[in-house]
Amino acid sequence: STMVHYKLYYFPSRSVAEPVRQMFAYAGIEYEDVRITKEEWLAEWKNKMTFDQVPVLEVDGKQIPQSLAIGRFVAKQYGFYGKTPFEAAWIDAIADQFKDYWVALAPWFYVHMGYAEGDVEAAKAKCAGPARDMLFPHLQKLLKENKSGFLIGDQVSWIDFMIQEHVTVLEEEFPGYLKDYPELFVHAAKIRALPAIKAWIEKRPVSRG
């Protein structure tokens, strides 16, 4: 059988594309890691991408938009989606909760990273606590209850990569934000130490977030 040809299109950063890159790394799957700069995006790429957005995963020339849809598709293909339908549903629920948290955090995050204009202290006062409360108490509870050290079930899944990537960014950009959630740092270190992930981290292009 012929191998599937994958192209992953995103900006030159980790962010919402990184869980997909990590799943490919862990499963040993070849893919084209296409990184589009902001100038290239506006000049030539935006209208080539379905929904005028990235990330896009191209599978033998056909496009899937939306990072969570891409993540779920790849997770299913390569065994990062739990062992039962109920585990898969819980993985989905965490991915969706992460997205809701992200929408709440974004006003502060974007200003801090310089992606948007604004008063970073005002944004922090408004967003930081409520956003954190939406997600991290629940993840902490899951990690405390699951002996495997993974978020769901007894093997690494899509949302382990997703959460680890984001916690890593929080460690780098907002030290102290998760001081009441040490379990998240233990989890992130565990995922980063998986041999295939460690190797990927060492060779991947460096970016801030």
Partner 1 sequence: FRACSMSRVFFYFFEILKYILPETMPSYKLTYFDTQGFAEVSRQLFALSDTPFEDNRLPREEWPEYQKCTPFGKMPVLEVDGQKLPQSFAIARFLARKFGFAGKTEWEQAWVDALGDQFKDYLNAFLPFFRVAFGTATGDLEAMKKSDGEPIRDNFFGILEKQAKDNGSTGFLVGSSLTWIDLIVADHMGVVEYHLPHFLDGFPEVQRVRRNVIETPKIKEWLEKRPERPY
Instruction: CB nearer to partner 1: give 41 or 73.
Output: 73
How many CB atoms neighbour CB 58 within 10 A?
18
As given in the structure block, the two tokens for residue 26 are: 């862990």
Question: Does 196 contact partner 1 by CB under 8 A?
Answer: no
Q: Please, which residues have CB within 8 angstroms of residue 202's CB and are 6 or more apart in sequence?
A: none
The residues in 51-70 that bind partner 1, with binding defined as CB under 8 A, are 51, 59, 62, 64-70
Instruction: CB nearer to partner 1: give 67 or 194.
Output: 67
Question: Does 107 contact partner 1 by CB under 8 A?
Answer: no
- The single residue among 40, 96, 172, 180 that binds partner 1, judged by CB under 8 A, is 96
Total number of residues that touch partner 1 (CB under 8 A): 28
153 with 80: CB under 8 angstroms? no
* Cα(209)–Cα(202) distance, integer angstroms: 15
In one-letter notation, the amino acid at residue 194 is L
> Residue 76 CB, nearest distance to partner 1 (Å)?
6
69 with 50: CB under 8 angstroms? no
> Residue 52 CB, nearest distance to partner 1 (Å)?
9
As given in the structure block, the two tokens for residue 102 are: 């992200």
Question: Does 144 contact partner 1 by CB under 8 A?
Answer: no
Classify 6 as helix, strand or coil: strand
* Cα(80)–Cα(83) distance, integer angstroms: 9
Question: What CA dihedral angle connects 173, 175, 177 and 179, to 10 degrees?
Answer: 150
Classify 158 as helix, strand or coil: helix
Question: Does 165 contact partner 1 by CB under 8 A?
Answer: no
Question: Does 90 contact partner 1 by CB under 8 A?
Answer: yes
Question: Does 93 contact partner 1 by CB under 8 A?
Answer: yes
Instruction: CB nearer to partner 1: give 89 or 125.
Output: 89
Question: Does 92 contact partner 1 by CB under 8 A?
Answer: yes
Q: Which stretch binds partner 1 (CB under 8 A): 27-35, 96-104, 115-123, 163-171?
A: 96-104
How many CB atoms neighbour CB 183 within 10 A?
17
Question: Does 97 contact partner 1 by CB under 8 A?
Answer: yes
* Contact residues for partner 1, defined by CB under 8 A: 51, 59, 62, 64-70, 72-73, 76-77, 85-86, 88-90, 92-93, 95-97, 99, 103, 134, 138
